[in-house]
Chains A and B, each alone.
Chain A
Amino acid sequence: MSAQRGGIHHNRSSLKEREDHSTMGIDSTTKDRRRTRAGRRHPLASVALILAGLVTTGGAYALFTSTATAGTANTAIVQQQLVEEGEALFAANCASCHGANAEGTGEGVSLHGVGAAAVDFQVGTGRMPMAAQGPQAEQKPVQFTEEQIDALAAYVASLAPGPEVPDESLFEGEADLANGGELFRINCAMCHNVAGAGGALTEGKWAPALMGVEPKHIYEAMITGPQNMPVFNDLNLSPEDKADIIAYLKYMEETPNVGGFGLGSLGPVSEGLFMWIFGLGAVVGVTVWIAARAN
């Protein structure tokens, strides 16, 4: 019966589903294809992979340190300055809620392990510093410069390891629009709407519209899962999949609507209202005019 109810009360039960996703932080709707592919891997394969990984990174590290010792020393100093600057900014703007060492208080969550990506997303989209307690952090005009955001991110990242700010190269270049569209419909549309127009969640929360969001922030949203949004790690959606989704969203944003004005991409509700108010309104106006002329 439960599958069936999913169909009937599509709105409410899918809301519940969304909550489940977000609390678990995993994505159960990702295509089965992916899961079976992962499941078929031989147990020893992982070990082999890790070994290979260690050998190559170790090798690369050795190479890197030997050729650019001077450079790293420099970057380390720059990095240290950045962290210190971030610490100061953090103490002034964020510590009241997140605690002096970002360990969390009653007002705000702990930021240990959220990573630079989370800070870059939250501050870069104007969500943080949060202005007022509400069901969800509101988006405001961004309050910090690019450098200050980097500093804050560096500081939070220095506390505990977490997802890094993604490199531009991850979502630039060729992408598979069809794959992006399909993955978007499967993984994101239940909260954000198929056209990315946004949707309601429970308890006054909402999934925002996705038009006009920077590619970097879309990527960060997926890897950090802000608030009620689930985390889509690289096993759920590979970096290429993420790039495809971003390309699809950008395609939707940049191509003009086919067939005329989209009425907010809200589907049948805005279409019905439009017909009642403007369509029927125009036609009734004409009838009144004709009848008035006749008298």
Chain B
Amino acid sequence: MRFTNAAASYIDERTSISGAVRELGRKIFPDHWSFMLGEVALYSFVVILISGTFLTFFFDPSMSHVHYEGSYAPLRGIEMSAAMASTLDISFDIRGGLLMRQVHHWAALLFVASIGLHMLRVFFTGAFRKPREINWVIGFVLFILAMAEGFTGYSLPDDLLSGNGLRIIDGMLKGFPIVGTWISYLLFGGEFPGLVVIPRLFVLHIMLLPAILIAALGLHLLLMVINKHTQFAGPGRTNENVVGVPVMPVFAAKAGGFFFVVFGVLVLIASFFQINPIWNYGPYDPSPVSAGTQPDWYIGFADGALRLVPPGWEFVLWGWTFSFNILVPVAILGLFIVIVAIYPFIEAWVTGDKREHHIAERPRNAPTRTAIGAAGVTFYAVLWAAASSDLMATHFRLSIEGVIHTLQALLFLGPLIAFLVTKRVCLALQKKDREIALHGYESGRIVRLPGGEYVEVHQPVSEYERWRLVSYEDYAPLMIRPNDQGRITLGMRMRAALSRWFFEDRISPATKGELEQGGHH
């Protein structure tokens, strides 16, 4: 005890760190399961760092040609790059190498998946609203970086599958008018595939991208501590406080345990399930392409976008080739991604709301936002599904043309339907909540009154439950008011129109007066 005290004060006198530790130790975590998704992402990232470090000890990021002489018989004597050969060595000849490779790859899939789910949680509970808009953008950057990390890593073994992926990137780059070819030559150091792209991707994969990722991650966590967590409404949970457990010691212990749970799940999966069997794919060679060539799931939406383009969208005008089959999907994806990034600002502008929000909204209480989210998810899901169009065709005995045409139609109709249905469902749920808050639950008990009338007895809701049902914000469409020059600008009109679209249909929460009346009913 004396020793730890002495050590603690030794460190504190030199770093004055105790203030920060105290501050951090008192940070409160609300305990709703969905608040732990970000943690899953963080822990899988740690697993990626650990397993990735192991892999760098043995991986040779070089495209020089060698003849494979390792222990996998069907490739022995085949000419391949040193990168591929060393990945095979990791898989077959280095103790624990295959497990580490599989842990690394599975963890990468979980990393991006948990980031995606975490983003959806933040979106659908409105946790991106002021003061957390900046952290949403940082989180978005993390998502993009995670995908970039994934893609560069997927390319490193220089096998047939990843080579095809790079070929697609090369084609996409070359699809850009004028600069495309130059950029492609720059990236590949000459004509595709060249001899430099793997070493370059390696530098990006293990140095530049992780460095930016870790910096952004630090900022993300710092802002989370500064802004505090959001929480769902409940008695004693207000916009001014956070209810939950402090970091020290309970949460820290739980989080430590949770890290090992995530690590354990990943190792378990990696020990029992094969991932990316590059020895089946063989070394990269520009001529063969395998049936069922797909990127990892998080790049699937981009692959799907390319597959959904109808044939014949390439024109030659004045001696230039315009590849709209590439430019259009790239533009649509770019637009989609930018909207995701700046959505908090769009919504803040439309609502005109400048207040801080620390209460997480239940998705039903923001019907339009939830509907927009559902439309976005549907759009993404259709693109994602399109990346496996060929597998859907073979496994469900469909024709590939039929699958593609259906998905093309769904790409436009799906989000529309999702929007309308989700909005109606949200409004209906709100209506039900209001009903319950006012009149209680239907108890299923039928009583016959003295006059002969039958009524169902309603069970009043508890205080606790009612709080949850009625405390949400009620926005009304913005009124157009002339500005100080007495004019109404176009921007104001647009804003009013959007605001009307957002809040026209709404169910107000039961007010205090109504609740009192409801009680006497």
Nearest CB in chain B to that of A288: its residue: B33
Cα A29 to Cα B287 in complex, Å, equals: 8
**B258 interface residue (CB < 8 Å to A):** yes
Residues in A with CB closer than 8 Å to B297 are 268-269, 271-273, 275-276
Mask of B294-311 contacts with A, CB within 8 angstroms, 1/0? 111110100000110101
Cα A45 to Cα B309 in complex, Å, equals: 51
Q: Do B40 and A283 touch (CB < 8 A)?
A: yes
Q: Do B291 and A198 touch (CB < 8 A)?
A: yes
**Distance to closest chain A CB from B170 (angstroms):** 6
Cα A204 to Cα B397 in complex, Å, equals: 7
Cα A181 to Cα B254 in complex, Å, equals: 50
**Distance to closest chain A CB from B177 (angstroms):** 13
- Contact A10/B73 with A272-B109, A272-B297 known, Cβ cut-off 8 Å: no
Which secondary structure dominates where chain A touches chain B?
helix
Partner of A178, one of B78, B280, B389, B401: B78
**B56 interface residue (CB < 8 Å to A):** no
Q: Which of B218-226, B267-275, B359-367 contacts A (4 or more CB under 8 A)?
A: B267-275
Cα A5 to Cα B106 in complex, Å, equals: 31
Residues in B with CB closer than 8 Å to A190 are 288-291
Within 8 A of A (CB), among B96-129: 98, 102, 106, 109-110, 113-114, 117
Residues in B with CB closer than 8 Å to A10 are 164, 167-168, 289, 293
- Contact A4/B171 with A29-B287, A266-B292, A280-B117 known, Cβ cut-off 8 Å: yes
**B393 interface residue (CB < 8 Å to A):** yes
Residues in A with CB closer than 8 Å to B321 are 1
Cα A202 to Cα B311 in complex, Å, equals: 14
Q: Do B258 and A259 touch (CB < 8 A)?
A: no
Residues in A with CB closer than 8 Å to B164 are 7, 10
Residues in A with CB closer than 8 Å to B269 are 274-275, 278-279
Which secondary structure dominates where chain B touches chain A?
helix
Q: Do A283 and B261 touch (CB < 8 A)?
A: yes
**B37 interface residue (CB < 8 Å to A):** yes
Within 8 A of A (CB), among B231-276: 245, 254, 258, 261-262, 265-266, 269-276
Q: Do A269 and B387 touch (CB < 8 A)?
A: yes
- Contact A274/B273 with A180-B74, A268-B297 known, Cβ cut-off 8 Å: yes
Q: Do B168 and A259 touch (CB < 8 A)?
A: no
Mask of A257-291 contacts with B, CB within 8 angstroms, 1/0? 11111110111110111111011101110111011
Q: Do B292 and A258 touch (CB < 8 A)?
A: no
**B10 interface residue (CB < 8 Å to A):** no
Q: Do A203 and B399 touch (CB < 8 A)?
A: yes
Within 8 A of B (CB), among A179-234: 180-182, 185-186, 189-195, 197-204, 206-207
Most buried by A among B262, B279, B293, B321: B293
Cα A205 to Cα B277 in complex, Å, equals: 27
**B281 interface residue (CB < 8 Å to A):** yes
Partner of A9, one of B275, B294, B306, B400: B306
- Contact A261/B292 with A10-B168, A186-B287, A200-B393 known, Cβ cut-off 8 Å: no
**A251 interface residue (CB < 8 Å to B):** yes
Q: Do B262 and A195 touch (CB < 8 A)?
A: no
Q: Do A286 and B258 touch (CB < 8 A)?
A: yes
**B326 interface residue (CB < 8 Å to A):** yes
Number of A residues with CB within 8 Å of any CB on chain B: 73
Residues in A with CB closer than 8 Å to B254 are 290, 294
Q: Do B92 and A258 touch (CB < 8 A)?
A: yes
Partner of A202, one of B109, B277, B294, B399: B399
Cα A67 to Cα B287 in complex, Å, equals: 52
Residues in B with CB closer than 8 Å to A189 are 288-291
Partner of A272, one of B74, B285, B300: B300
Residues in A with CB closer than 8 Å to B276 are 268, 271
- Contact A204/B113 with A185-B288, A260-B273, A290-B254 known, Cβ cut-off 8 Å: no
Partner of A267, one of B33, B106, B292, B389: B292
- Contact A200/B274 with A9-B307, A29-B288, A259-B102 known, Cβ cut-off 8 Å: no
**B77 interface residue (CB < 8 Å to A):** yes
Residues in B with CB closer than 8 Å to A203 are 399-401
Cα A245 to Cα B309 in complex, Å, equals: 36
**Distance to closest chain B CB from A147 (angstroms):** 34
**B161 interface residue (CB < 8 Å to A):** yes
Mask of A29-73 contacts with B, CB within 8 angstroms, 1/0? 100000000000000000000000000000000000000000000
Q: Do A204 and B399 touch (CB < 8 A)?
A: yes
Mask of A170-183 contacts with B, CB within 8 angstroms, 1/0? 00000001101110
**A106 interface residue (CB < 8 Å to B):** no
**A248 interface residue (CB < 8 Å to B):** yes
Most buried by B among A4, A192, A282: A4
**B436 interface residue (CB < 8 Å to A):** no
Cα A29 to Cα B254 in complex, Å, equals: 58
Mask of A1-39 contacts with B, CB within 8 angstroms, 1/0? 100111111111011000000000000010000000000
Cα A193 to Cα B294 in complex, Å, equals: 11
**Distance to closest chain A CB from B333 (angstroms):** 14
**A169 interface residue (CB < 8 Å to B):** no
**B398 interface residue (CB < 8 Å to A):** yes
Q: Do A275 and B258 touch (CB < 8 A)?
A: no
Residues in B with CB closer than 8 Å to A273 are 297
Cα A155 to Cα B187 in complex, Å, equals: 62
Nearest CB in chain B to that of A4: its residue: B171
Residues in B with CB closer than 8 Å to A291 are 31-33, 36
Q: Do B288 and A268 touch (CB < 8 A)?
A: no
Cα A178 to Cα B74 in complex, Å, equals: 4
Q: Do A275 and B106 touch (CB < 8 A)?
A: yes
Cα A249 to Cα B346 in complex, Å, equals: 56
**Distance to closest chain B CB from A294 (angstroms):** 4
Most buried by A among B113, B294, B300: B294
**A141 interface residue (CB < 8 Å to B):** no
Q: Do B36 and A287 touch (CB < 8 A)?
A: yes
Partner of B289, one of A14, A135, A274, A276: A14
What are some 21 contacts across the A-B interface (CB < 8 A)?
A11-B389, A12-B311, A29-B288, A178-B74, A185-B160, A194-B160, A198-B291, A200-B389, A203-B400, A204-B397, A204-B402, A252-B74, A265-B280, A266-B292, A268-B295, A271-B296, A283-B40, A283-B110, A283-B262, A287-B34, A294-B31
19 extra A-B contacts, CB within 8 A, seeds A10-B168, A199-B394, A278-B269: A1-B321, A4-B171, A7-B170, A135-B399, A177-B74, A189-B291, A200-B394, A203-B401, A204-B399, A206-B394, A248-B74, A258-B277, A261-B273, A267-B292, A268-B294, A280-B113, A283-B40, A287-B258, A290-B33
The residues of A with any CB-CB pair to B shorter than 8 Å are 1, 4-12, 14-15, 29, 135, 177-178, 180-182, 185-186, 189-195, 197-204, 206-207, 248, 251-252, 257-263, 265-269, 271-276, 278-280, 282-284, 286-288, 290-292, 294-295
Closest 9 CB pairs of A and B: A199-B291, A272-B297, A204-B399, A7-B167, A8-B171, A291-B33, A259-B274, A200-B390, A275-B109
